[in-house]
Amino acid sequence: MNARTLQNQKGLILENVSIQLDGRTLLELDTTIKPGTVLTVMGESGSGKSSLLDFIAGFLKPDFKATGRVILDGTDVTAVPAQERHIGLMFQSPLLFPHMSVAQNLMFAIPSEIKSRTVRQQLAEEALGAVNLEGFGSKDPAKLSGGQQTRVALMRTLMARPKALLLDEPFSSLDQSRRADVRQKVFSIATERALPVLLVTHDLEDAEVAGGPVHRLETPATEPQ
């Protein structure tokens, strides 16, 4: 794809991506995730799901080699440092900072261009309201339930105004009813903000609700040591 064609491409393009480990190809993927749609990636343990996310986010471990390009909203970000890619990540564990209140966790992610403390506080409050956690700002994250922490983590990821979302089993610590709620919230925010989303999950229901294409990674013939 030449530079001029690239400029008009919205969404996340994974162009001829190939990841190798110890001289063997772990996975290959060539796809486009359109704005507001979810690509679900499934695969057995060891098939390379985390490595694929690491590559897209910009921190593939040095033991791996990769070729191909990551193109985000028309810009080739393959060689751009992770912190400048504007890609939001969410993992199985919420990973909230334990020494900060819930509101401080949220405000930490707000871009530094927004300097006004009042505005930052207001954005944090609005974010909590969006996931039905009004009034939780002053709480210690450790005192929240798993589902509440996951909702805060989701909003913290979104506060940074990412251009794409990579979700690595983000709902797996939630019980069934909370899982459905949080999942719905994530997908509706992604649609509202026209974010391309790559979701790694083992749950077929997640894939069904996401409604987008499903890519299955091949199981490695032999588990590398």
Give the footprint of ligand ATP on this chain (CB under 6 A): 21, 26, 43, 45-51, 61, 63, 223-224
Q: Which is nearer to ligand ATP, 73 or 168 (CB)?
A: 168
CA angle centred on 162, ends 58 and 157, rounded to 5°: 95
CB of 179 to ligand ATP, least distance (A): 18
Q: Which is nearer to ligand ATP, 87 or 152 (CB)?
A: 87
Phi then psi dihedrals of residue 27, to 5 deg: -160, 155
DSSP string, the chain: --HHHHHT--SEEEEEEEEEETTEEEEEEEEEE-TT-EEEEE--TTSSHHHHHHHHHT---TTEEEEEEEEETTEE-TTS-GGGS-EEEE-SS----TTS-HHHHHHHHS-TT---HHHHHHHHHHHHHHTT-TT-TTS-GGGS-HHHHHHHHHHHHHHT--SEEEEESTTTTS-HHHHHHHHHHHHHHHHHTT--EEEE-S-HHHHHHH-S-EEEPPPPSS---
CB of 65 to ligand ATP, least distance (A): 11
CB of 48 to ligand ATP, least distance (A): 4
Q: Which is nearer to ligand ATP, 46 or 58 (CB)?
A: 46
Sheet holding 12-21, edge to edge: 24-33, 12-21, 64-72, 75-76
Q: Which is nearer to ligand ATP, 22 or 134 (CB)?
A: 22
Q: Which is nearer to ligand ATP, 17 or 106 (CB)?
A: 17
CB of 82 to ligand ATP, least distance (A): 17
- Tokens representing 167 are 């979700």
CB of 219 to ligand ATP, least distance (A): 9
CB of 39 to ligand ATP, least distance (A): 15
Q: Which is nearer to ligand ATP, 48 or 170 (CB)?
A: 48
